Amino acid sequence: MKEILKLKNLKKHFPVKNSWGTDVALVKALDGVDLKIESGKTFGIVGESGCGKTTLMRTLLRLVEPTSGSVILSEEITGNNFSSNNLEDLTSEELRYFRKQIGVVFQDPMGALNPRMLIKDIVSEPLVIHGKTDNVRSRVIELLENVGLGEEHLYRYPHEFSGGQRQRIVIARALALDPKILVLDEPTSALDVSVQAQILNLLNDLQKKYDLTYIFISHDLSVIEYMCDRLAVMYLGRVVEEADTDELFSNPQHPYTKALLSATPSFDKNKDKIMILGDVPSPINYLDESKAKLATEITEQEKLEISAIEGKGIDYIVRSSLNEVIPLVQISDGHYARVRQQ
């Protein structure tokens, strides 16, 4: 096992200001995330909207500065030339080099492509920015062929392509600088299942060909199960469970993970269902002590939903029971979860 990235107790708190400009609360988007990302494997991050997946990705790329904690880079990325292996301490020169090693694919391909640029300009832009200006044209054609497009697509605009083709262009651009890591932020959620299958196959082929490390963010568990080797489940800025994919799907420990797995619609009608009742609580933590803690007692909405569901033979958990912070414990080798130890 070779690590390529290590996150150490990473925290990102966004201040909430009142109309006078003084801080009244903190949104704890990331609240102590520890992860090790293995080289050449696919690491999955699952969670609902607002759980901190995207903030995690942005802190990894240093698009936002973490409040505390650090991202430790391995030799594979630094190449022993850096003054420090901590992402925070890199000089601007080194940061430029670091950003070459890490490519990003976003959710909505149309939003990620400039509608006024030709495909050849879009794909060659990273090459030009990083000064690799010799043989740009042949390099662009090579990149396009890698993702199943070709020379005939060079002089077209993004709107002339279908959704799947656009996502291929975004992937080609992300690969332009031979990155070691590819961050995929919900790459297939805007696509149909048949196109999704094409893109997932393409990603698997590219991973084998270039020995890439993927960080795969998604809320679709069937895609995650198919793609990932290791998986972290996030809830309200914390990792609640982390394990190898097979282990996590066969033996989930945290109540939230169990409910999430059963909430995914499946063809098996007899599958045991666990409903999560209630709405996602607000991640705002008030500095004022009296309001500080997220309440762990059952809310009005949850009471109503419990009364609606009772007697139907459906298992349920309530969200307010998830608000309590429990330390991460080791279940088995490489399987961690935030559950109480018996």
Q: Which is nearer to another protein, 101 or 320 (CB)?
A: 320
Q: How far is CA 289 from the centre of its chain?
A: 32
297 in contact with another protein (CB under 8 A): no
260, two tokens: 């999430």
Closest CA to 186 of 218, 231, 229: 218
Q: Which residue in 156, 249, 258, 298 binds another protein (CB under 8 A)?
A: 249
308 in contact with another protein (CB under 8 A): yes
Q: How far is the CB of 212 from another protein (least distance, A)?
A: 17
Binding region for another protein (CB under 8 A) out of 20-28, 29-37, 95-103, 197-205: 197-205
**Is residue 338 classed as helix, strand or coil in its secondary structure?**
coil
Q: How far is CA 321 from the centre of its chain?
A: 25
Q: How far is the CB of 263 from another protein (least distance, A)?
A: 4
Binding region for another protein (CB under 8 A) out of 1-9, 108-116, 118-126, 256-264: 256-264
DSSP string, 281-321: PP-EEESSHHHHSPP-SPPHHHHHHHHHHTTTT-EEEEGGG
150, two tokens: 């070709």
Binding region for another protein (CB under 8 A) out of 7-15, 59-67, 173-181, 273-281: 273-281
Whole-angstrom CA distances from 267 to 166, 192, 251, 262, 270 are 30, 18, 20, 12, 9
Binding region for another protein (CB under 8 A) out of 1-9, 116-124, 149-157, 192-200: 192-200
Site of interaction with another protein (CB under 8 A): 48-49, 162-163, 192-194, 196-198, 200-201, 204, 219, 221-223, 225-227, 249, 259-260, 263-267, 269, 273, 275-277, 279-280, 299-301, 303-305, 308-309, 314
